[in-house]
Amino acid sequence: MAVKLRLRRMGKKKQPIYKVVAADVRSPRDGKFIEALGLYNPLTDPHTIEIKEDRVLYWLDNGAQPTNTVKSLLRQQGITLKRELGRKGLDAEKVEAEMENWKKLKEASSKKKSTKKKSKKQTAEEKTVETVVEKKAEETAVEEKPADTIVEEKSEETVVEKVDSKVESKSEEKEITEEGTTEVKGAASEENEAKKE
């Protein structure tokens, strides 16, 4: 019988809690298992892992194969490191010293990561505050613009529009005939055409 160390899903919908179990390969994920070895709760911050080291080491020594996820959990708890150090033939004291050193390094790296995350959050918040302040400054600058300059700008635009419209109307009203005289288009030009004929 092939034994695997794997997770068994429990808990409510969208609130999973996993039990680490030793189970036959042929049994379904949430089906029967041989022995419960611990719990894994991914919803807590940081996630909670409770594993019985002695039972996991027993099953690993007897040929049980952990799944990738369980292997990752065992690494996070330091169980795989402890097993490797035991296989090398180190004394129990040396193994414990190595485990203490590993725990200190792990705590230091987790503190470093948490401070890095906090600093990133602070810089992101500062950037958003700066952009909000800049937008407000721009809005106040637009509002503080003197009324005279706004009126002058509008009057210049209307003058330009009036000049453009006059040029267009003049070009439409006058037309040079074959004889070289200019005639006004519209009702008067129709009367002139009727007279010529």
The residue among 80 and 134 whose pLDDT is bigger is 80
> Is 173 part of any domain?
no
pTM above 0.75, yes or no: no
Band (173; pLDDT cuts 50, 70, 90) = very low
Q: Is residue 57 part of a domain?
A: yes
Q: What pLDDT score does 172 carry?
A: 46
Indicate whether 191 pLDDT > 90.
Answer: no
Q: What is the mean pLDDT of residues 43-71?
A: 92
* CATH number assigned to the domain comprising residue 9: 3.30.1320.10
Residue 30 lies in a domain: yes
Number of structural domains the chain divides into: 1
CA 78, 82, 88, 89: dihedral to nearest 10 degrees? 160
- Average pLDDT score over residue span 61-86: 91
pLDDT of residue 1: 74
Query: Edge-to-edge, what's the strand order for the sheet holding 35-41?
Result: 48-51, 35-41, 15-24, 3-12, 65-66
